Amino acid sequence: MHANDYIFPTNFKWGAAASATQTEGSANDENKAKNIWDYWYQLNPERFHEGVGPMKTSDFYQRYTEDIKRMKAIHLNSFRTSISWSRLLPDGINVNGEAVSFYQKMFDQLIEHGIEPIVNLFHFDMPLLMQEKGGWESLEVVEAFNYYAHTAFELFGEKIKRWTTFNEPIVPVEMGYLNHYHYPCVVDMKRAVVVAYHSMLASAKVIQTYHESNQTGKIGIILNLTPSYPRSDTKGDVKAARIADLFFNRSFLDPSVYGSYPEELTELLRSYDLLPETNQEDLAIIKNNTVDFLGVNYYQPRRVKEREKPYQSDQILPEKFFESYIWPERRMNPYRGWEIYEKGIYDLAINIRDNYGNIPWYVAENGMGVENEERFSDESGMIQDDYRIEFYKEHLKWLHKAIREGSNCFGYHVWTFMDNWSWLNAYKNRYGLYRVDIRTQERSLKKSGQWFGDVARKNGF
């Protein structure tokens, strides 16, 4: 093999992804209102790994100038982050001047350093004020989100040419309404379906607002797609995988790209009395306001088989329709408990090419979380995270193959630029190209950061 066997398209976006709540810190400062994470941490700090909450996180709010220089030092040409709704509009209506000043300066500095900001509007961080109105169960909150988005477009639209409405909208559904891992910890599939539908409606309304306000950029959505692989080609296993795909991928992918829901999903929900209330006007908004591009987050596959044990619960949850199974040949990230399956990224790319009109898309997150990374430091203190380099390299090889075969992929963003706070897990698993010492907030480049910088500089490896 020669150096640079894998060369990527011209102007390929090499970058990293982050979110406001996970990096900004200053959770109680500068007129920011509480979001559900600030509130939940006050309520149950013991649920957060080592009791670390969202107050400080990686202190990007104070340190963005230096951090952007660090991005430049490793040749990133793009960076995706989010705006904090509760920081920008603390009372839901009036703009917080401190927030505007922070975001304007941060975006300006990215642009000055040749790093394109890709800006996301919602990353799991429902303002507490809006959660008290019902969160995504409430159509009033759907309208409030549209108002917030419109405000952001007016303030920052001249600078920002790539927007996304949501990051992983299935996650608040799955974790907050089918599990106890995100607030409000409701386990109720009927309410979960309402949250999913209203999130999709909110996304479509914001896309409509964007295009109607004469903006000159593009707007999309970021979905975490998990290829669903059946255990075997028996009818039962194939059906189980198809239902998992409907619930966890196509419930957002189809309406985002095609403006409609798969018939099979609608029929399945109807047969269990789980369909949300809809009206023709809202369905028309979803139909007519599809995305300009897709962001795709990929970490691990989903492997399923038909249910073998009887379903015990008296309430319907997705698990009623399939069970997970362990693929005998799987390779694991032992630290995170996730399977590493690089070909999954290729399968997603080909699916988008063949079944979703070959829409422009980019890898919006791909990464490997590892606990106690300090043990891999060399004598100079640099973390020798060769496992992460291998993870990226193998995924990029499969992505390169998909692009060569015509998949319309324009970028690859790692999760994440520097170690950041991650919801209930706090700083348990580290993902960064830069290490963050959470006591001192000092940043230091990891070996993977050096490697990835080299890839970005050469546009390949």
Residue 5 near residue 457 (C-beta atoms within 8 A): no
Tens of pLDDT, residues 83-130: 999 999 999 999 999 999 999 999 999 999 999 999 999 999 999 999
Mean pLDDT of 446-455: 98
Mean pLDDT of 41-56: 95
Count the neighbouring beta carbons within 10 Å of the beta carbon of residue 427. Answer: 18
pLDDT over threshold 80, residue 1: no
Half-sphere exposure of 395 (CA within 13 A, CB side): 27
From the list 292, 164, 138, the residue with the least C-alpha distance to 224 is 164
pLDDT over threshold 90, residue 30: no
DSSP 423: G
Determine the pLDDT at residue 2: 55
Q: Mean pLDDT across the chain, nearest whole number? A: 96
DSSP 294: E
Determine the pLDDT at residue 313: 85
Residue with tokens 């999709």, as numbered in its chain: 200
Query: What structural domains does the chain harbor?
Result: 13-458 (3.20.20.80)
List, by residue number, the catalytic residues.
Answer: 168, 365
Poorest-confidence range of 176-180, 336-340, 419-423?
336-340
CA distances from 117 to 15, 65, 106, 157 (A): 10, 14, 9, 11
Confidence label for 183 from pLDDT (cuts 50, 70 and 90) = very high
Tens of pLDDT, residues 259-312: 999 999 999 999 999 999 999 999 999 999 999 999 999 999 999 999 998 898
Determine the pLDDT at residue 27: 81
